């Protein structure tokens, strides 16, 4: 997987947090994710499948405190548990990131799935078999958010 | 004037509904649906003057909903605003071909929605 495929997702993530949630986040150093050495902490993930001229997944993972903070912020209510609103928000965030990233990869006709949500303390994420998964941390007020992208090499449409 | 907001995200529906209320629309005149099939039932039952529709939704997606709506005689001139994360130009072209009147890429702001709906209110 080439690095140039990652940048549109990073740009979209920063834009979504700024425009949708009013939060400034900055991308940290990308890393090659190894799920056997999972040292990252998160409690809820939004996952989008990517099809079309590639095969892959995009995942955005949040620690509980960050997800609750963002859900409270966007609804104006104090949300203290993983309810439907948090699930809805995480799904919408990953959906907008994937949809916006397509703009930066227009030469590859990508198709995105509906989001799926996984909850659980330190749950494990695995990318497409045999394809590396790149992780990018983003710092938010109450913890780090992680973007994971795993895409098979794209084929020009 | 009656508006219908179709999006599988309740948060997104509420954002659009609140913007419409800010435009002095009566809450009773703003209907909403979480996907296309339910929206179609509402469209058949009611007389809708403005439709906001997301693209990626379960059961019946927004693009297919628009194609069906355009075949209904009373809705041939209905303003349909697609509000979606699908930002690629080929998506915009596909939506226009299907019959949408206007296209807004998420994330949305109140200003964007206000600007777009001026012409239809």
State how far the Cα of A87 lies from the Cα of A61, in Å rounded to an integer: 12
Question: Pairing between strand B50-53 and B80-84?
Answer: parallel
Rounded to the nearest 10 degrees, the angle between the axes of helix B62-69 and helix B89-98 is 30
Q: Is A74 on the interface with B (CB under 8 A)?
A: yes
Q: What was the pLDDT predicted at A4?
A: 74
In the block, residue with structure tokens 């309810």: A83
Ordered DSSP codes for A68-130: HHHHHHHHSS---S--HHHHHHHHHHHHHHHHHHGGGGTTS-EEE---EEEESTT-----STT
pLDDT in tens, A17-60: 999 999 999 999 999 988 777 677 899 999 999 998 888 999 99
What domains, with CATH codes, occur in chain A? 3-151 (3.40.1550.10)
Residue A99 binned pLDDT confidence (cut-offs 50, 70, 90): very high
Is pLDDT of A156 > 60?
A: no
What domains, with CATH codes, occur in chain B? 3-120 (3.40.50.2300)
Whether A96 and B85 lie within 8 Å, measured CB to CB: yes
Residues of chain A in contact with residue B54, where contact means CB-CB under 8 angstroms, are none
Is pLDDT of A155 > 70?
A: no
**Mean pLDDT value across residues A11-16:** 95
pLDDT in tens, B63-109: 999 999 999 999 999 999 999 999 999 999 999 999 999 999 999 88
Q: What is the ipTM of this complex?
A: 0.90
Question: What pTM did the predictor assign?
Answer: 0.91
Best B58, B87, B108, B112 residue to mutate vs chain A (most A CBs within 10 Å): B87
Percentage above 90 pLDDT, chain B:
83
**Mean pLDDT value across residues B16-29:** 90
Q: What was the pLDDT predicted at A90?
A: 96
Whether A92 and B86 lie within 8 Å, measured CB to CB: no
């Amino acid at each position: 997987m080439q690095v140039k495929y990652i940048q549109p997702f990073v740009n979209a993530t920063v834009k979504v947090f700024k425009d949708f949630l009013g939060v400034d986040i900055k991308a940290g150093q990308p890393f090659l994710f190894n799920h056997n050495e999972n040292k990252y902490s998160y409690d809820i993930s939004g996952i989008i499948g990517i099809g079309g001229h590639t095969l892959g997944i995009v995942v955005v993972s949040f620690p509980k405190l960050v997800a609750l903070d963002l859900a409270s912020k966007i609804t104006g209510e104090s949300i203290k548990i993983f309810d439907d609103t948090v699930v809805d928000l995480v799904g919408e965030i990953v959906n907008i990131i994937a949809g916006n990233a397509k703009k930066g990869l227009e030469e590859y006709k990508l198709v995105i799935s509906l989001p799926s949500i996984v909850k659980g303390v330190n749950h494990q994420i695995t990318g497409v078999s045999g394809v590396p998964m790149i992780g990018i941390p983003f710092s938010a007020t109450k913890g780090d958010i992680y973007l994971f992208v795993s895409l098979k090499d794209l084929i020009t449409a | 004037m009656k508006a219908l907001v179709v999006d599988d995200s309740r948060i997104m529906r509420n954002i659009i509904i609140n913007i419409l209320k800010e435009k002095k629309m009566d809450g009773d005149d703003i209907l909403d649906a979480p996907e296309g099939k339910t929206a179609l039932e509402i469209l058949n039952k009611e007389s809708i003057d403005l439709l906001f529709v997301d693209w990626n939704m379960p059961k019946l997606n927004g693009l297919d909903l628009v194609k069906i709506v355009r075949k209904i005689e009373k809705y041939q001139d209905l303003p349909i605003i697609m509000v979606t994360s699908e930002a690629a130009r080929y998506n915009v072209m596909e939506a226009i071909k299907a019959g949408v009147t206007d296209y807004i890429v998420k994330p949305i702001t109140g200003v964007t929605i206000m600007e777009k709906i001026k012409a239809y209110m």
